[in-house]
């Protein structure tokens, strides 16, 4: 089944403890992206990747890191999480770009930073 998977689905952590949220897609998509969803704000783009080893900032990149060493994986790294990063996170992918191809979203990761 073609899909975007994320792990973990739920995570509770404490301020300053480094964490990684994994994202993987099995559709051979070149483009991948991370979003955060907050009430009243919709989804906001954190980082995106046009292909392996090529990444760029979205609208809210502060406090996040990403890497794209393999085509199928695009992990999101929070090196020193803070309570304002408590949010629902979505990974997405599309064949080449979101303005030419359907963007497929993962099931989400709910992160709480205490």
**Contacting positions for other proteins (CB under 8 A):** 4, 31, 33, 35, 40-45, 48, 50, 56, 58-59, 90, 92, 97-100, 102-108
Q: Report in angstroms how near the CB of residue 98 gets to other proteins at its nearest.
A: 5
Provide the minimum distance between the beta carbon of 89 and other proteins in the complex, in angstroms, as a whole number.
10
How far apart (Å, rounded) are the C-alpha atoms in residues 101 and 109?
24
Residues in the chain: 114
Helices and strands of the chain, counted as H and E runs: 0, 11
Report the largest interatomic distance among the alpha carbons of the chain, rounded to a whole angstrom. 39
CB-nearer residue toward other proteins: 76 or 92? 92
Smallest separation, CB 21 to other proteins (Å): 14
Nearest in space to 52 (alpha carbons), one of 20, 74, 26: 74
Secondary structure percentages of the chain, helix, strand, coil, to 5 = 5, 50, 45
Nearer to other proteins, 15 or 68 (CB): 68
Nearer to other proteins, 62 or 100 (CB): 100
Residue 80 CB, shortest distance to other proteins, in Å, is: 25
């Amino acid at each position: 089944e073609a899909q975007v998977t994320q792990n973990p689905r739920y995570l509770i952590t404490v301020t300053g403890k480094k964490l990684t949220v994994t994202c993987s897609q099995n559709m051979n998509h070149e483009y991948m992206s991370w979003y955060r969803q907050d009430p009243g704000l919709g989804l906001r783009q954190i980082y995106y990747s046009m292909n392996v080893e090529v990444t760029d900032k979205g609208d809210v990149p502060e406090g996040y890191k990403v890497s794209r060493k393999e085509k199928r994986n695009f992990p999101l790294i929070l090196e020193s999480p803070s309570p304002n990063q408590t949010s629902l996170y979505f990974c997405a992918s599309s064949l080449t770009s979101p303005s030419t191809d359907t963007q497929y979203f993962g099931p989400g990761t709910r992160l709480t930073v205490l």
